[in-house]
Structure 1
Amino acid sequence: MTPIAFKPNAIVFAAALAIITCAGGLFATYSRAADEDKVAQPKAALTVTTVQPQQSPWTVQLSANGNVAAWQEASIGSEANGLRLLEVRANVGDVVRAGQVLATFAADSVQADVAQAKANLLEAEANALDAAGNASRARTLQTTGALSEQQINQYLTTEQVAKARVEAAKATLVVQQQRLKHTQVLAPDSGTISARSATVGAVLASGTELFRMVRQGRLEWRAEVTAAELERIKVGTQALVSTANGTPVKGKVRMVAPTVDPQTRMGLVYVDLQSNLLKPGMFAKGAFELGQSAALTVPQTAVVVRDAFSYVYRVGADKRVARVKVQTGRQIGDRLEITSGLDANALLVASGAGFLNDGDLVRVVETSKPNTAPAQAKPAQAASK
């Protein structure tokens, strides 16, 4: 019987086939295990940072709107009558001082009247001197009988009339000198020229307005406040008024109106402004500082507004978020006050909450430390809800 011969290539091939089969089985087993692990571990919806609410003292503010106006406005007119305006030395926007010459009138005719009044006074004084001499001599002859009683009384009366004419001439001279002074229009107080109607060459009647002036350059904010809130504001209360570009201007309450408009039920609060950034006639928003109160605050980015309601997302121990409805109040800088609906020890999503839904799984990478209280010197917005 002939023995069977085994070829070496067949043996090697069979061994390789067995190894490949085992490896495939192991790979399939590991793949299924990996897939099971992926199913068992759900993927996080978002990577977030967290923050805790912060308790800090905030200024209690009362918002209001109103107009900016001059503290007092002076009307500067002509006291000269029928004179021609010769020169105008002030224009709108000029800052003037008390007693400064703003305009001049032609003074030739008035100067002539002054000269005539002086001459009349000299004549009256000469006549009074002559009458006084005659009266003195008449008194010395009164006891001698050289002059009758009637003549003596006549000299004495002439003396009194001459004295009266001197006084009348002096008064006339004073009037003409005043007319001469009125040919120069002077600033009654220091301030800023806000309007000008003076025109060179015009012949004006007495009392015609030439300029308007903001006295001492002082402005005030006339804030409109409801009758219920008017009692909360006292004289001396600090206020912050915002300019058109948002720059805050400090002010102080000078007076609270004693009456309320019966149509609008609003009262006026007069606030002295300490800046020239505002102009008369401007509309301005502002707020009165009524003290301080404790506030629970969170970053503005942690609050999401949906369907006109405000929400925050609280992170649980299982890294899932829960949507919490809250009420917001004041805002200072980038922080919002939470008035209700939130625990002070809650851990919240600091930013990106708008991309989350209730129950989403998140991955927390960092916990933000509570921020320091914002500076009260910055402009604040009262957002009562």
Structure 2
Amino acid sequence: MKTTNDKLNDKLKGKLKDKLKDQLKTKPLALALLAAMIVGSGGVMLYSPSSSAADEKKPAATPALTVSTTRPESATLPLRLTANGNVAAWQEASLGSESNGLRLTEVRVNVGDVVKKGQVLAVFSADTVNADVAQAKAALAEARANAAEAQANAKRARAVQASGALSEQQVSQYLTAEQTANARIESARATLAAQQLRLKYTQVVAPDSGVISARTATVGSVVGTGTELFRMIRQGRLEWRAEVTAAELKNIRVGSTATVKAANGSELQGKVRMIAPTIDPQTRSALVYVDLPPDTRSNAPFKAGMFASGHFDLGTSAALTLPQPAVVVRDGFPYVFRLNADSRVSQLKVQTGRRVGERIEILSGVKADMPVVLSGAGFLNDGDLVRVANAGQATAAAAAQRAAK
């Protein structure tokens, strides 16, 4: 048997059902819209952006740079050995005084003057020497007079020697006096020659042609024998004394051509005159003497004592070269960028050698048929995608690379 509460609950449930039926009858359009929204929402969830991107293709990568390419070329390059050294005089002459205690009265040359062989450079006072020469001449005349008397006495002694008018002792004395007089003549002649030589030495003359490099002569000074008055570069000839290591010395021959460059940029061509027979034990290098063309001008670009660099020409040899822009230096090492068949580049480490003009010798790291980036190499990294300006050449290079593979 139902209670009062149960009856009330049944009554309320009936009223709610009736009300819900009324609402469903009056609002069918709202329910339809609600159903459409639910279906649309599910469709959006099913057609998400991620699933759409998976079905579509990814866009193509963008090239990093537009470049041009080149290939290594074979060339004949000169073989050169670079060296450094000092410029020095070929030979220096020290000109000094040969007269003792004479006063210097005249100096006719100065530093930098070009002189000829036999030219008078300085003059000493000759008054004292002239007096000594006159005295020597008088002594010679006296000796000759005494000799004439001795010769006459000896002649008479020989004439009467057989008759016995003179004793053997007297005859011997006359003959000895004759010989002594002749010896005194020779002595007087020697003394006169010595004084005349002193007179000659009152003039300092150049023993050879050349350029005066130093002067210590001062007018009015009294100098002793052997005192240096001038220093001269003989014939104005200079030489380059290049320092070459022992390992490189075997490549140089006497007569080889060398180009010497001064600090002011001037260049001269010379020839190897001599190679030093010994090697410095401290530096392990030897000197190579290169004769330079004589230049006696006061403004000559090469001066004795200056430092100069240069190179020896040792012939030519074949080499594989690239233009200088194609070689990139990074972290102290040279690199090039090879163009691959997929238009990407590969960074390759190379070894460089000689440089002639705008081309660099490549010793290792590349091959003759390898396409290499020329312009724009400094802005690339390993694996970058590039666009090639010279596309025809790049296509041919890619085909050659695929054929090689």
Q: Same fold judged by TM-score > 0.5?
A: yes
Describe how 1:37-76 pairs up with structure 2 within 5 A.
40=60, 42=62, 45-46=65-66, 48-76=67-95
Partner of 1:133: 152
- Native 8 Å contact 2:69 2:388 kept in 1: no
CA distance in 1 between partners of 2:377 and 2:219 (Å): 70
Partner of 1:168: 187
Q: Give SS of 1:66's match.
A: strand
Partner of 1:309: 333
Describe how 1:79-158 pairs up with structure 2 within 5 A.
79-158=98-177
Partner of 1:184: 203
Question: What is the CA distance between 1:349 and its match in structure 2?
Answer: 2.9
Describe how 1:1-385 pairs up with structure 2 within 5 A.
40=60, 42=62, 45-46=65-66, 48-274=67-293, 276=295, 277-317=301-341, 319-358=343-382, 359-365=384-390
The superposition leaves residues 54-93 of structure 1 with CA deviations (integer Å, 9 ceiling, x where unpaired) of: 2111122222221111111111111010001111111111
Could you tell me which runs of 5 or more consecutive residues in structure 2 were left unpaired when the two chains were aligned.
1-55, 296-300, 394-405
TM-score norm. by structure 2 comes to: 0.77
Question: What is the CA distance between 1:51 and its match in structure 2?
Answer: 2.8
Count of matched residue positions in the alignment of Structure 1 and Structure 2: 332
TM-score norm. by structure 1 comes to: 0.80
- Native 8 Å contact 1:319 1:364 kept in 2: no
The superposition leaves residues 132-186 of structure 1 with CA deviations (integer Å, 9 ceiling, x where unpaired) of: 1121112111122222222222211111111111100100010001000100101
Q: Give SS of 2:105's match.
A: strand
Q: Give SS of 2:350's match.
A: strand
Q: Using a 3 Å threshold, how does the CA distance of structure 1 residues 154 and 179 change in structure 2: closer, same or farther?
A: same
More helix by share: 2
Say what the alpha-carbon RMSD is for the aligned residues: 2.3
Q: State, as a whole percentage, how many aligned pairs show the same letter.
A: 64
The superposition leaves residues 100-128 of structure 1 with CA deviations (integer Å, 9 ceiling, x where unpaired) of: 11111011111111111111111111111
Q: Give SS of 1:231's match.
A: helix
CA distance in 2 between partners of 1:158 and 1:307 (Å): 102
- Native 8 Å contact 1:50 1:367 kept in 2: no
- Native 8 Å contact 2:65 2:376 kept in 1: no
The superposition leaves residues 199-240 of structure 1 with CA deviations (integer Å, 9 ceiling, x where unpaired) of: 111100000001111111111111112222222222222222
Question: What is the CA distance between 1:44 and its match in structure 2?
Answer: 5.8
CA distance in 2 between partners of 1:153 and 1:216 (Å): 61
Q: Give SS of 2:303's match.
A: coil
- Native 8 Å contact 1:321 1:362 kept in 2: no
The superposition leaves residues 16-38 of structure 1 with CA deviations (integer Å, 9 ceiling, x where unpaired) of: xxxxxxxxxxxxxxxxxxxx9xx
CA distance in 1 between partners of 2:375 and 2:267 (Å): 29
Q: Using a 3 Å threshold, how does the CA distance of structure 1 residues 125 and 186 change in structure 2: closer, same or farther?
A: same
Per mean C-alpha deviation after superposition, the further-off stretch among 346-355 and 200-209 is: 346-355
The superposition leaves residues 255-305 of structure 1 with CA deviations (integer Å, 9 ceiling, x where unpaired) of: 111111122222221111225432111112122222221111112122110
Q: Give SS of 1:145's match.
A: coil
- Native 8 Å contact 2:62 2:385 kept in 1: no
Q: Which amino acid aligns with 1:362?
A: R
Could you tell me which runs of 5 or more consecutive residues in structure 1 were left unpaired when the two chains were aligned.
1-35, 369-385
Q: Using a 3 Å threshold, how does the CA distance of structure 1 residues 180 and 351 change in structure 2: closer, same or farther?
A: farther
Per mean C-alpha deviation after superposition, the further-off stretch among 72-81 and 229-238 is: 229-238
